[in-house]
Amino acid sequence: MMPNKSQSEQHNKELGDLRRPRNYRKRHLSYRIIILTTFLIILGGGWSLWKKIQPTQHFTNLKTISHRKTNYHQASGSFNALIIGSDERRSQTSGHTDSMMLVHANLAKHRYTVLSIPRDLRIYMPNLGYTKLTSVQSVYQDKYGSKKGITMAVKTISNYLDVPINYYLETNYWGLRSMIDAIGGITINLPFKVRLTHPWYSKDYNKTFSQGKHQLSGKMITEIVHERDSVPGTDFGRQRLQEAALIGIVNKVTNPINALKIPALAKSMSKFLIGTNLKTTDMISIGLAVKGNFDAQKQVRYLQLSGENEVLYDNILENYNEEIVLNRKQLKKIIVKDFEK
């Protein structure tokens, strides 16, 4: 009686096993062990990386940008960042500071403090004298180049305000516009009516936006946050517009719908930022902390510095001009309460 097909195949398989070298099965088992071990190493490395980018782990024992204080306490999961908006044009390597915000983020407690710093603030530059804040960045960049110049500007501001700064982010008109367009525009809640009196594009002159919410592109947002002459408080009013834009950006990025876009957006931030010491892992960790858990009304505290307008001599410009002299007691109280914990 002839064997059927399945019996024949089984017989051939058994013969094949007998003909194979004795160490074949050992090698086969070794390959499996190697593959399994490699998989576990990759999995373990991924888990280790995942733990490291968790905000309370990632933002711990941070370095400051040459701050003279050594006895301040910085809680795990928290940091201070200086956000700089410059008027640097394309092909230029230096620019004046149009806007500046100091941000304290406590990612563990989901609390954020945003302090707007006036561009006309009177500030001392070591070995150079007094000038307006808006000139500090330009002076250093003209002398030392773009990268070193902005770092020196951050150091000077850190020491003058007496606040530790861990990170800085510098953008300009095109950077801000590109970032907003990359996330599909934002909704900005304007605190008052805005009429464009000094737009980047002449065709936008006299365009008016009512108080309230507007869904706008990067171009219109950059026009609005540049305005100051038509808004209440001029420069202080512009600070409020910049804060409103910042909220709109964070609200859009932290929307759960956009959660999967955070790593890609973080990797492309070099397109939007002229300069920063933030790394991609820093940005991803921040994204993990705020995604789907950001409520501006409950979590963000907005502050503005007050001071007196005085006509004083500017050592850099070598003339007299109007500058804002800070209320140092108010500043110290804010720094101790909101930026050193």
Which of 3.40.50.1820, 3.30.420.590, 2.60.40.10, 1.20.1440.130 is the CATH number of 54-59+71-172+274-341?
A: 3.30.420.590
Q: Looking at residue 195, what is its pLDDT?
A: 96
Per residue in 110-130, pLDDT tens? 889 999 888 889 999 999 999
Stretch 168-190: mean pLDDT = 88
The pTM of the full predicted model, rounded to 2 decimals, is: 0.75
Q: What is the pLDDT of residue 35?
A: 53
Closest CA to 304 of 102, 81, 166: 102
What span, in angstroms and rounded, lies between the C-alpha atoms of 294 and 300? Answer: 9
pLDDT in tens, 275-314: 889 888 888 788 777 766 777 778 888 888 878 889 999 9
Task: Determine how many CB atoms are found less than 10 A away from the CB of residue 75.
Answer: 15
With cut-offs at 50, 70 and 90, classify the pLDDT of residue 28: low
172 pLDDT higher than 60: yes
Residues 173 and 166: their CA atoms lie apart, in Å, by 24
**What is the assigned CATH class of domain 173-258?**
alpha beta
For the chain, give every residue range classified as CATH 3.30.420.590. 54-59+71-172+274-341
User: Rounded distance, CA 274 to CA 290, Å?
Assistant: 24
pLDDT of residue 47 exceeding 50, the answer is no
Tell me: the pLDDT tens digits for 49-107?
556 678 888 888 888 886 666 566 778 889 999 998 887 766 666 777 878 889 999 98
The ranges of the chain annotated as CATH 3.40.630.190 are 173-258
Q: Find the mean pLDDT for residues 160-182.
A: 87
